[in-house]
Structure 1
Amino acid sequence: MAELNTIIAKFFDSSGKYVINLNVKSKYLGSSKENLKKTDVNGLFIFQASPDRMIEILAKPPNQKDYTSFKLINSSISSSEKNPIIINLPKTIEEYQRTSNVSPSKGIVSTLFKVLDSNGKAMVNFPIQSRPKGKGSSPDKYTNDQGIVEVLSSPNRDIEVLVLTSNDQFELKFSGNSGAGKEQPILIKLNEPYNNFKGFTLIKVLDKSGQRYAVQDVDVEMIFDNVNKKNFKVKNGQLKLTNWVGQKIKLTIFKPDGKPLDSVDFMVRRVKEEFIDLQLDVDVLNGKTAQNDPITPQRIEDTSAGEIISLSFFKEVYGTKKLFWHKTMNGRPTQNSTPEQFLPALNKGLLKYKMTDKLILCHFLAQIYHECDHFNTLIEYASGKDYDIGNFPPEVCNVPKSRSCRRRKQILAEGNTTPGDGPKYKGKGLIQLTWKSAYLKYKKYSGIDVVSDPDLLCNDLFHAVESAVWAFNEFKNADSLVRNGYIDFTKTYSDSYHLGVVEQVSKRINGGTNGLAERKSLFLKILREVEKRNGFK
């Protein structure tokens, strides 16, 4: 008789606390025989199984009628008390304990779904979309490491769930009523195996100035699924990776002297080819350390009144495509605007606020392009529910340090006190204004009643521009960062100095480093074009 393997799993709730006295059971996949236990004082579930068998681990949190399958493992997996198999519950124990079996008449209910491939494999970190029946889809959500995803909706609402196919389209896989929510996950089985979901990622490797890191045959180490390792080389400043949707990737690039740079993490999200800029903290251009930074004029003579930025300048920098075309614009008057239609509104906004300083303009133009997703939209893609008080009732602060409690406090502080304020006051305009408090400040400054009609910022090109100029100069005070960053407008500055200011401005506008490589690269592109033309004409 084969020697049994001891398997040790540890359960955590969504707050990161280990869970004691939890009802758990294990069984061989497809078998009716079960091993029932409770987790011990350290949250551990310890059991034995024959080697090389597929084992299903299930649990029944408080107030749940049924056991939920949380993990499928091979019994030969290595585990110990110091290195147990980690299993995460989708809610805190407190949230489970507050769960009522009474059907609510108002508020938000939670319905869980578990996504499996055609072979029964749980689809981890896998994208889905959800929506009220017949309405537009939400931004992508992702399953957890058990293939489970939570969909929030109103009680007794007809909802639909769509799941990604290998053709990179979302296909309707569930249509039904949310009722009072469902803790036992509804199974969604795909028509194809996991191996069909191969994604392609093209990574442009940039140095810290935003230029292509074109050193030949630079070593790269890739770790995926936190275990498997692969080594290859950069060719001409770019990498093309082939991995499966949901895989988490850690990339480490080595300098020519063999020293590793900081690792970068990302996840493959779609089947279609994705493009990622990977900026490294290293000064390397075409294989050589830059000896002397190029010197550029800081200030250029003002252009004539009436037109600050010419159409030819705009098209040279941003291209000739139609603007604000994304489906989120949903038939708004500004959807599919041409550059010819947009430029008069842009110039009018800049002139109204006397925003004619050339260097400040370079920074402004670099920031707005990323903030509105490359001029693809004037309205935030997310639904706005994460800014809505209706989704964060007072009970969330029963766990004071939870993310939900912190979010509730922020929502109240920012003035979104009425259910529905989240979607109403989500990001709009070129620099997407968010929260009711910001809309109130802009109304007070401009006299435009965007509080009553926040859609003015995405339905009217001039208001989209004007709000962005105000946000840059007044609300965020980014123009003062530019002025303080250069101090003396008569001096010239190196590219590396310019990019230091770009980094400060980007953090002020965005609150972090999101898209920083692109913002830097575009700033230099704009500055080079200004130098070539001696202005914005």
Structure 2
Amino acid sequence: MFQATLTCDGLSAKTGEFKLVFVKEKQKKESFCTRDLTVDDVRNIVKVLRENTFFAEKNKKTKKVEKFPLTQLPNLYRIDKIFHRNSDNCKFKSEEVTNNSFENFTAQLNVTLSKYEINNCQRRAHFFSQIFIETQYFTKTVEADNSRTDDYDPYRGRGFIHLTWLENYQRYQKHTGVSVVNTEDLNSKNSSVKSSKDNNTNCKIVSTNLEVALDTAGWYWKFGSVYGDINLIADKGTVELVTKAVQGGDGALSERKSAYQLLIKIFSQ
């Protein structure tokens, strides 16, 4: 019969026979911040964020302006739909996202988190809160028209963190080898290019292909920002600092803060 005596450190007194491994509670809690996410994890993140993000509207009965969760607009923010609204604007009818299932999103997301070292609670909470707002609550991967966008079309903001201006598309292509710039524009020094092939620009892959939309975001997060590796800012910085590193300002800061607070609770549980 086999017998062994355990020492206080959990090792057998008979060398090499067996070893007990005790998992600390802290390690269990942090595993969600380091492991691959499941489809159910991602579905829950989308659900929690949309149910706790609000829009203002006048109550038809009381006539008072009240806040309502996004999920009360089911045609726009259904729990089971993601990245489905590029074509809301007729200008982007050709930029519908391919394979925008939760399964595909989760698979590509895990690749991005690993590749760009978004691998602890702070980094993930900051990254998710930023891309949630950048993609209009996980519904769009292309920036809407505004007073500025004609200046930088066709290289407008696309992806989960808006890749904007020809120069940044060029930098991403040279760094990764992924073709997102027209051949005639690849070496251009003009930051604002009016491509003659607007309907066939390579840049549209950033908005239509989830793999590229996520990869550009990961690349910008680690290599593209003028503030340096945003992982390092996320480790010690505030939502204000991360937002500035992402978009150079403080756009939708209150929403980014709210999303971050929700996400840090999810990733730390």
- TM interval, shorter chain, is 0.5 to 0.7
Higher helix share: 2
Query: Which residue does the alignment assign to 1:438?
Result: 168
Residue type of the alignment partner of 1:316: N
Whole-Å Cα distance in 2 between the matches of residues 528 and 304 of structure 1? 11
Query: Which residue does the alignment assign to 1:345?
Result: 108
Contact 1:322–1:336 under 8 Å retained in 2? no
Asked if residue 382 in structure 1 is aligned to residue 134 in structure 2, the reply is no
Contact 1:430–1:468 under 8 Å retained in 2? yes
Contact 2:98–2:210 under 8 Å retained in 1? no
Deviations 1:19-43 (A, max 9, x none): xxxxxxxxxxxxxxxxxxxxxxxxx
Contact 1:321–1:338 under 8 Å retained in 2? no
Query: Which residue does the alignment assign to 2:251?
Result: 514
Secondary structure at 1:424 match in 2: coil
Matched ranges for 1:226-305 at <5 A: 301-302=30-31
Contact 2:109–2:214 under 8 Å retained in 1? yes
State the shift of 1:340 in Å: 2.3
Among residues 309, 312, 326, which one is paired with 2:37 in the alignment? 309
Contact 1:323–1:335 under 8 Å retained in 2? no
Whole-Å Cα distance in 2 between the matches of residues 484 and 309 of structure 1? 23
Residue type of the alignment partner of 2:43: K
Contact 1:506–1:516 under 8 Å retained in 2? yes
Residue type of the alignment partner of 2:46: Y
Asked if residue 372 in structure 1 is aligned to residue 135 in structure 2, the reply is yes
Structure 1 or 2, whichever has the larger Rg, is 1
Secondary structure at 2:249 match in 1: coil
Among residues 474, 477, 492, which one is paired with 2:223 in the alignment? 474
Matched ranges for 1:43-54 at <5 A: none
Contact 2:221–2:231 under 8 Å retained in 1? yes
Deviations 1:236-271 (A, max 9, x none): xxxxxxxxxxxxxxxxxxxxxxxxxxxxxxxxxxxx
Contact 2:130–2:256 under 8 Å retained in 1? yes
User: How many residue pairs get matched?
Assistant: 186
| Structure 1 residues 354 and 512: alpha-carbon distance in aligned structure 2, compared to 1, 3 A threshold | closer
- Say what the alpha-carbon RMSD is for the aligned residues: 2.6
Secondary structure at 1:342 match in 2: helix
State the shift of 1:338 in Å: 2.7
Deviations 1:112-151 (A, max 9, x none): xxxxxxxxxxxxxxxxxxxxxxxxxxxxxxxxxxxxxxxx
Whole-Å Cα distance in 2 between the matches of residues 509 and 303 of structure 1? 24
Contact 1:384–1:423 under 8 Å retained in 2? no
Secondary structure at 1:308 match in 2: coil
Whole-Å Cα distance in 2 between the matches of residues 454 and 384 of structure 1? 21
State the shift of 1:358 in Å: 2.6
State the identity as a percent: 26
Whole-Å Cα distance in 2 between the matches of residues 506 and 370 of structure 1? 11
State the shift of 1:300 in Å: 5.5
Whole-Å Cα distance in 2 between the matches of residues 345 and 331 of structure 1? 22
Asked if residue 360 in structure 1 is aligned to residue 112 in structure 2, the reply is no
Whole-Å Cα distance in 2 between the matches of residues 302 and 346 of structure 1? 17
- Alignment gaps of 5+ in structure 2: 1-25, 48-78, 183-201
State the shift of 1:387 in Å: 4.6
Whole-Å Cα distance in 2 between the matches of residues 379 and 313 of structure 1? 25
Query: Which residue does the alignment assign to 1:282?
Result: none
Matched ranges for 1:203-222 at <5 A: none
Contact 1:323–1:338 under 8 Å retained in 2? yes
Higher strand share: 1
Contact 2:239–2:256 under 8 Å retained in 1? yes
Secondary structure at 2:203 match in 1: coil
Contact 2:118–2:231 under 8 Å retained in 1? no
Whole-Å Cα distance in 2 between the matches of residues 313 and 356 of structure 1? 15
| Structure 1 residues 384 and 339: alpha-carbon distance in aligned structure 2, compared to 1, 3 A threshold | farther
Secondary structure at 1:481 match in 2: helix
Query: Which residue does the alignment assign to 2:235?
Result: 483
State the shift of 1:331 in Å: 5.1
- Alignment gaps of 5+ in structure 1: 1-296, 389-421, 486-500, 533-537
State the shift of 1:437 in Å: 0.5
Whole-Å Cα distance in 1 between the matches of residues 241 and 130 of structure 2? 12
Whole-Å Cα distance in 1 between the matches of residues 46 and 232 of structure 2? 26
State the shift of 1:458 in Å: 0.8
Asked if residue 325 in structure 1 is aligned to residue 54 in structure 2, the reply is no
Residue type of the alignment partner of 2:263: I
Residue type of the alignment partner of 1:482: A
Contact 2:83–2:141 under 8 Å retained in 1? yes
| TM-score, scaled to structure 2 | 0.62
Whole-Å Cα distance in 2 between the matches of residues 451 and 300 of structure 1? 42
Contact 2:95–2:204 under 8 Å retained in 1? no
